[in-house]
Structure 1
Amino acid sequence: MNDGIVVVVLAAAVAYGTPLLFAALGELLAERSGVLNLGVEGMMLMGAVIGFLCVQHVGGSAGVALPIAVGAAAVAGGGCALILAFLVVTLRANQIVSGLALTIFAGAAGLSSYIGNDFELADDPARFSFEPLNALGLGDLPVLGPVVFEQTWLVYASWLAVAAVAFYLWRTRPGLNVRAVGESPAAADAMGIDVTRYRYLHTVAGGALAGIGGACFSLALTPQWVDGLTAGAGWIAIALVIFAFWRPDLCLVGAYVFGGLSALPLILQARGVTIAPQLFQALPYVMTILVLVLVSTGTARRRLGAPAALGIPYVREER
């Protein structure tokens, strides 16, 4: 039963959806504060290359090297997000242009590629990688075994991240504050909430999660480094936030839908199905385009629950 194509696709959807989930949660935090981060792809690539670099050069066992690599990936993504926050919050630059510029700067033809080529990272496989576990010894259960209990630590960490972000946004005072900043920064400022600090913190935190999402590629899914390793996953993550109506729980569902679409051509190829793989590989991006087109108007965004001040710089003097 566990070798059936449905079970295999479900298990792969969870694995391939995990980097999308981390990145989408990060984008969700930034957008809830009113910052549209279009630099997610670049942040994921920086996280992927820095995480891989660390796992190749940090000594010790896998239990030491892998957590350090994930932490370094988070710092790399957060560092890129800090640059974005300075541009769009402090300098009040256009958020779309700034995000696109950051993706070009850090992306497949930019800094991440330079680091990978300079350290010749593409020559060797990862020294250590995250391997699927047999959690609680339940990996042999029908259906649930491979789907739930034979995943990597990164998958389980992503579930905790979903719960943590949901609790933070809807059950804590800082979460209420950040939602207020995203809806009406002028009103939040009048209530004594530091709009600039909240936007900085949540943009950087979002970048850190995107960096971890990138590390999922280089340390788990395909434990190696090649230019453009994330293959557009950052753009899917941005659309996924819209698809999920800016809710963490629906980000999880959407990530697994997109993850399943990404994994499906590989599974079909392994089973000898001759359908052109390009057709299935294009499906996540077709869905992304459709989602973005459907919510391209301000009215549609408001009906779906987008923060009212998303993408709008806040200038205190204009209150």
Structure 2
Amino acid sequence: MSAVAAPPKPAAGPAGHRSPAVVAPVSWRAPIAYVVVAIGALVAFVLAAPKGRETTFTVSTASDFFQIAPVTVSSTSAALVLCLIALALAAVSIWAARSRRTIGVWLPAGYGFVLVLAFLTWAVAGKAQPLPLTGLLQGSLFLAIPLVFGALAGLLCERSGIVNIAIEGQLLAGAFLAAVVASVTSSAYAGLIAAPIAGAVVGLLLVVFAIRYVVDQIIVGVVLNVLVIGVTSYLFSTVLKVDAATFNSPPKLPVIDIPVLSQIPVLGPVLFRQTVLVYIMYVVVAVLQVMVFRSRWGLRMRAVGEHPKAADTVGIKVNRTRVRSTVLGGAVAGLGGAFFTVAAGLAFGKEMTGGKGYIALAAMILGRWSPRGALAAALLFGFADNLQVTLGIIGSPIPSQIMLMTPYVVTIFAVAGLVGRVRAPASEGIPYVK
């Protein structure tokens, strides 16, 4: 008859007394931040806001199955209710910290949602033009495209142990080649196919210097970004600008309406009335979520990024795996670069990516090196980007210069305040020499 092992007892202290179990200290950072921000919102959006104004939101679009009437609310009253809900959620956070309970993602998500809604209620109060909520969400998803692909590229590289700072250059190279090929062939889809090739070439350069010549990966990434900016700027000035009609007039990807699904109010226009690049993004995120965490290929890639020596001892080719993952990541980033030209319907311009590669890196970290998390983080940054565009059109009390800073400020606060303690792959940035 087998014996059942008893649970370990606390270690005996002096004179036979038992030492109390060690308890982790309570972190009050998040609860305090919740309270401070909610009180600040209450003061700004309610107490200091002009009284007697109204805010109108529109939800439906012309092609929906049924129409939802515009919603008009008292700006001050609606903001007051939303701020009180935020304070209640902050109180729940304090209670959870005191009782050492773990709260799911629903609390920060709900807290952020009510505060953003309170901000929107205050920002467009008294404006003649209503705020189109569906259009705001639809544009946020569209603007998140390069961030999602860039974050996925960084994830593929860093999970295998290669730090990819060159996402900015891969996006820019993809945008350049997509514009040129689409212009020459008069086909946006041809440009979409060509974009990953440019990103893969930049990824190949990164991995050659990082593995073959064992150069510091961060330095190589920064140099590649500068190199791509210089090459594309030179070609833009000497070729594209001289004959823009031939080389820099890319056609735009058409918007594809998914029958039936695109006519569902709110969700339909946001999710199913987009370009083919958005639908490709859905597929890539879903496939990588499964492949990275549920397949032998993903297990080998993560093993190489965590403990390359152990992976080598069981027969995994460490550097070969890193080369393949980095080139694949570069191709994914290059595909995201097509957003700036063929998806947005714009001609190529110097440095048109505008730092989106670095925001994609932040989305990868905020998403904790997970495709699903990277998607959520990129949508947050895409919303911040589209918000400043929408409010710039409607008008808001905030100066336009500050609104232009919104995506970058949100990035800093999200990474500094929401990430918490995260652990990158253990061997990222460390060359493996057998």
TM-score by length of 2: 0.66
Q: Which residue of 1 aligns with 2:333?
A: 210
CA gap 1:58/1:104 in 2 versus in 1, 3 angstroms:
same
Q: Which residue of 2 aligns with 1:55?
A: 182
Alpha-carbon separation, structure 2, partners of 1:103 and 1:14: 26
Return the offset for 1:283: 2.5
Q: Which residue of 2 aligns with 1:114?
A: 234
Gaps of 5+ in 2: 1-58, 62-130
Q: Residue 22 of structure 1: which of 117, 124, 149 is its match?
A: 149
Q: Residue 2 of structure 1: which of 46, 50, 60 is its match?
A: 60
Q: Which residue of 1 aligns with 2:427?
A: 309
Whether 1:38 aligns to 2:165 is: yes
CA gap 1:97/1:294 in 2 versus in 1, 3 angstroms:
farther
Alpha-carbon separation, structure 2, partners of 1:232 and 1:310: 23
1:257-272 correspondence runs (5 A): 257-272=380-395
Alpha-carbon separation, structure 1, partners of 2:167 and 2:418: 19
CA gap 1:213/1:270 in 2 versus in 1, 3 angstroms:
same
Instruction: Number of aligned residue pairs: give it.
Output: 304
Alpha-carbon separation, structure 2, partners of 1:291 and 1:145: 29
Return the offset for 1:266: 1.3
CA gap 1:161/1:267 in 2 versus in 1, 3 angstroms:
same
Question: Is the contact made by 2:164 and 2:218 (CA closer than 8 Å) also made in structure 1?
Answer: yes
Question: Is the contact made by 1:32 and 1:307 (CA closer than 8 Å) also made in structure 2?
Answer: yes
Return the offset for 1:18: 1.0
Return the offset for 1:200: 0.5
Q: Residue 291 of structure 2: which of 168, 177, 184 is its match?
A: 168
CA gap 1:206/1:168 in 2 versus in 1, 3 angstroms:
same
Q: Which residue of 2 aligns with 1:62?
A: none
Deviates more, 1:281-290 or 1:209-218: 281-290
Alpha-carbon separation, structure 2, partners of 1:294 and 1:309: 25
Q: Residue 154 of structure 1: which of 271, 274, 277 is its match?
A: 277
TM-score by length of 1: 0.89
CA gap 1:2/1:121 in 2 versus in 1, 3 angstroms:
farther
Q: Which residue of 1 aligns with 2:215?
A: 93
**If each structure's helix is expressed as a fraction of its own residues, which one has the higher value?**
1
- Across the aligned residues of Structure 1 and Structure 2, the Cα RMSD in angstroms comes to 2.0
Match for 1:307: what amino acid?
A: P
Return the offset for 1:315: 1.8
Q: Which residue of 2 aligns with 1:288?
A: 411
CA gap 1:214/1:242 in 2 versus in 1, 3 angstroms:
same
Question: Is the contact made by 1:261 and 1:281 (CA closer than 8 Å) also made in structure 2?
Answer: no
Alpha-carbon separation, structure 2, partners of 1:243 and 1:79: 27
Alpha-carbon separation, structure 2, partners of 1:235 and 1:248: 17
Q: Determine helix, strand or coil for the equivalent of 2:253.
A: coil
Alpha-carbon separation, structure 1, partners of 2:212 and 2:320: 10
Question: Is the contact made by 1:52 and 1:126 (CA closer than 8 Å) also made in structure 2?
Answer: yes
Q: Determine helix, strand or coil for the equivalent of 1:219.
A: coil
Q: Determine helix, strand or coil for the equivalent of 2:288.
A: helix
Deviates more, 1:149-158 or 1:278-287: 278-287
Q: Residue 84 of structure 1: which of 199, 206, 215 is its match?
A: 206
Q: Give me the identity figure in percent.
A: 36
CA gap 1:117/1:254 in 2 versus in 1, 3 angstroms:
same
Alpha-carbon separation, structure 1, partners of 2:151 and 2:238: 30
Q: Deviations over 1:256-292 (max 9, x none)?
A: 1101111112111222335323323323223434456
Deviates more, 1:65-74 or 1:80-89: 65-74
CA gap 1:121/1:152 in 2 versus in 1, 3 angstroms:
farther
Q: Determine helix, strand or coil for the equivalent of 1:221.
A: coil
Question: Is the contact made by 1:16 and 1:221 (CA closer than 8 Å) also made in structure 2?
Answer: no
CA gap 1:13/1:174 in 2 versus in 1, 3 angstroms:
same
Alpha-carbon separation, structure 2, partners of 1:127 and 1:154: 15
CA gap 1:204/1:121 in 2 versus in 1, 3 angstroms:
farther
Q: Deviations over 1:188-210 (max 9, x none)?
A: 11111101111101111111111
Q: Determine helix, strand or coil for the equivalent of 1:307.
A: coil
**Greater Rg by CA:** 2
Larger relative contact order (Cα-Cα within 8 Å, sequence gap ≥ 6):
1
CA gap 1:308/1:291 in 2 versus in 1, 3 angstroms:
farther
Q: Deviations over 1:131-179 (max 9, x none)?
A: 2221114433211122112111100100100011111111211110000
Q: Determine helix, strand or coil for the equivalent of 1:131.
A: coil
Match for 2:333: what amino acid?
A: A
Q: Deviations over 1:53-107 (max 9, x none)?
A: 0010015xxxxx2232122110001001100100111111101111000000002
Match for 1:213: what amino acid?
A: G
